[in-house]
Structure 1
Amino acid sequence: MTLTHRTVLLNEAVEALQIQPDGHYIDATFGRGGHSRAILARLSPAGRLTVFDRDPAAIEGARALAAADARVDVRHASFATLADEPAESADGLLLDLGVSSPQLDDPARGFSFRHDGPLDMRMDPTRGISAADWLATATVAEMTEVIRDYGEERFAASVAKAIDRRRQERGPVRTTRELAEVVAGAVKTREPGKDPATRTFQAIRIHVNAELEALQRALNAALRVLRPGGRLVVISFHSLEDRLVKRFLVAHARPAVDRRAPMVEPPPPLLADVSRTLPSAQEVADNPRARSAVMRSATRTAAPLGAAAMAIGGRG
């Protein structure tokens, strides 16, 4: 099976990084390397690129690129580990969130209800608990909370009860088709053009991979890892991610007022030049998976880290 991937907002993201030829950049979501190759094309021989990914298939491609280009360093890790990078070591950081087309289109990965396969959903299949194993042991309350909060599914309770009833009567759900059928029987109405299983699959994937928690940690780390003047660029594909990113950027782009000392001059903001970019109509027409993409970017200021760099918590 040949699995292809079209990089969304490729040129816009690279332009937003404002690349300095001798600089150091981090592509924290290597995927199939579209953004990384475009960044490398703008770097001089003295420039450096560090790439992260937790998907073994993506890392295989990243290592092949590093073998051919000495400017590339590879980290087989989640971008949640960005805090391990040296402070003020990067001139730009890119996060391209969500699931890639090859992941969605490979039935063995279990991300999509469009193909029948094992219900896995892990970004790194060698670590953590699969979606099937989680659904086999989660309580109805736990499933309801995840499907409601991460999938924004109004029939979350009905879906959770249907999964519980299915495992009691016939055993745990083990394949993507089985889960899609259970959800279809529990979701009372469908949004036009959307499969009833869409929101539940999204929710379980986000939970299994702790995606929002990892994103929050990566955003916090960006404040420390970026040099003054460094650029942060984030591409998201659903409302929970984009809401978290937007809230983070806005919170750190304004002075942090200490309510305990309202008369004290607040420290300067940590981020500036916050902007939002959407795919062009032509890109959406050429690549329908770009239709939900939102790119947000900002510049790290010279302000010192302090209380303002604390996490903005919550589930988004």
Structure 2
Amino acid sequence: MAYLAFSNFKPTKGSVPFRHFDQLSSIVWRARNLLEKRTDEQVESMVSVIDDMIEDYFRNAKEEEIERLKSEGKYDCLEGDEDGNFHDIKSDAEGDLDYPTAENTREVDALEMIVGTWSNIFGDETPEPLDHEYFAALALSKIGEIINSLEYTYDYKTRQFEKRDPKQSVESYTYRRAAEKAIEAMEAVVIAENKRETDRLESRYKRLLDEAKEHASVALRKHIDEQVQAAIEDFKNRQKEEARNNGRLAHKDLESHKSLVLEDWEKDPSAHRSADRAAGFYVDWLKEVHGVQKDYQPRTVSKWIREHARAKGIRLR
């Protein structure tokens, strides 16, 4: 619920609870320093754009994968209708494919792939956000999500947050999810700081070159421009490739964790009353038995089990 991230936390002002993670205040201070000229409303708009663009990124990636499968004649991986139109990927085939999804790609890695591909987000004369500002905004949204989950509970009927009783313990699952978000927030703010420093160096480099070009021939000036632009593009491409590699590693981890769950579940499918009950067990089992850091949603694990049972002809209770 990223759109609720700032319900109980203002991105540009206010304190952060210390009792859960000491590092949160440092992350917030560093992110705010990168956004010192922005208002709360502008940061919230930036996060809204990030959400929309990441959603588009995943949707476009899936559409491209569908077209690739069609072109290679792999229709057994696709869902079709009675008219012979193939419009989706079969759920039991998704695990064997290598394309970015919300399950195998973190928001910070997805943002690395698409940042800078949109403009005029405020619709007025407000200066456009620089790339590093988007990552700082993402970091703050993660902090807001952490505060929502650890300091409040959310009533889906009333759509209101209620303050937690300080004496009430936080569920282990919720706490682990918050820890993952804290790590992602830290990574986002580090990327933001690196990008700002890169922008400063690039600006300084260009200024020095401009001074040198005043005394150079036309041909030499053109050559310098081409070399500088090539170096900048190479750096940006290397950053994007690193983000792609992070996504591929996450995909491999997901398949490994899925196999662990299904192999154990298949030993005794009747050990759990339902796929949902089994999912609740295996979410903790991955953490406690295999030391898995990623925090899977129970519905994701339940989906694995249901699809595996269907493929194996195992009847669920």
Tell which structure's C-alpha radius of gyration is larger: 2
What TM-score, normalized to structure 1?
A: 0.27
Name which structure has the greater RCO, CA cutoff 8 Å, separation 6+.
2
